[in-house]
Amino acid sequence: MKFTGILAAALAAASLESFASCADCKQVLFKNGDAVEGVSSAVYRIPALCTAPNGDLVVACDARREGGGDLNHAKPIDIAIRRSTDGGKTWTAPVFSWKWQWDDEGHWAGSDPSFVVDAQKKKIFLFYNVWESKKRHGVFQFYVQESSDNGKTWSKPRDISADIAFPEWPFGKKDSEGGFIFITSGSGIQTKDGTLLHTIVHVGDGNALFGSSDHGKTWKAVGKPVKNGDECKVVELSDGSWMINSRWRGGGRQIHVTKDRGATWKSRYDALLEDPQCNAQIMRVGDKLLFSNCKSPNRRALLHLRTSADDGKTWDSGVCIEPNGAAYSDLCVLPKGGIGIAYEGAGYATINFTTVPMSALH
């Protein structure tokens, strides 16, 4: 329902006032130069956030030891994790789930963490991309770990690179040969029928889905890739269709929808969903979609949380989470209600966490 005039202004003021009560609760979870397990990192980037099956919150990010460069610069990058058992009020000391290593096989770095939560089997799956600079120099690989204790401990990493490869894409090729393919950071989903679903991107080409129908025992490519897309997220719509919302060019977002599990796609460009070519997050909460991104066509700033009541056809103006510089973000539903947001702060100096009450959302 849309409101006009005095009523609209009153509702907007009430929403912003409700949100303002939590705006001061912003916490810095990772700050450049801080140490994890005694190891200092120059830059922390790329947050992933989830609500564990028991209601705990888990956040992961890149711990980039030597600088802010991405994975394909082959610098030491670890995956750092913190947890909260009280809805984000306090957090455990950070630990590593993946730690950079040098051995006879080469120089390994892991980056771009993401979560998929299996609510049915009460497991969390943690994905990231791995770069190895000796034996397979310049080739992206894809790893997964799982936790059955709500993120306290993690299994040994498992290489699923060959399992989720599409014949249409140059998997196994070097970055310089067109093999710039990686799993998107942030969070994937579990669909109504229990399927675990996540996104993967071939930079400059398009998007694709991979998933599991056996609760993570095996992971496979799903459907076919779709053209025109970059870092992206997937969400299940009210009719059971799947929608990919993707970073793209031109100041808006690229949208892909499939009604047949990725066999065919219908695509459109959403110029009204402003975006500065930055990773974002979309998720379903009840009968609404929530979307967090930098609400600007050309600046990584003005992080907003927006709401759609019609499966992403239209969006409200949203609430501003961070009026200053911001970048990548991820969302979760808090155990006692409300939304948690982890995001990169200005200048990529921090990974922050804050909460938004449902009353602040239209």
Percent of the chain whose pLDDT exceeds 90: 83
Token pair for residue 305? 């949380």
Query: Has residue 74 got a pLDDT over 90?
Result: no
Strand-pair partners of 212? 196
Residue 156: Cβ-neighbour burial (10 angstroms; 0-12, 13-18, 19+): exposed
Residue bearing tokens 């009560």: 21
The pLDDT-based confidence of 298 (bands split at 50, 70, 90) is very high
Query: Has residue 314 got a pLDDT over 90?
Result: yes
Q: Could you report the per-residue pLDDT of 167-191, keeping only the tens digit for each?
A: 999 999 988 899 999 999 999 999 9
Q: Which of 105-114, 118-127, 173-182, 268-277 has the lowest mean pLDDT?
A: 105-114
What number is the average pLDDT over the span 287-302?
97
pLDDT at residue 160, as a whole number? 96
The pLDDT-based confidence of 4 (bands split at 50, 70, 90) is very low
Distance, in Å, from the CA atom of 333 to the CA atom of 119, rounded to the nearest integer, reads: 13
pLDDT at residue 133, as a whole number? 61
Domain 5-360 sits in CATH at 2.120.10.10
What number is the average pLDDT over the span 145-154?
98
Q: Which residue type occupies 358?
A: M
Distance, in Å, from the CA atom of 219 to the CA atom of 127, rounded to the nearest integer, reads: 11
Could you tell me which residue, 307 or 4, shows the higher pLDDT?
Answer: 307
Query: Has residue 11 got a pLDDT over 50?
Result: no
Residue pair 192/170 in contact (Cβ under 8 Å)? The answer is: no
Q: Both ends of the chain: CA-CA distance in Å? A: 9
The pLDDT-based confidence of 104 (bands split at 50, 70, 90) is low
Closest CA to 77 of 107, 99, 94, 102: 99
Q: For the chain, give percent helix, strand, coil, nearest 5.
A: 10, 50, 45
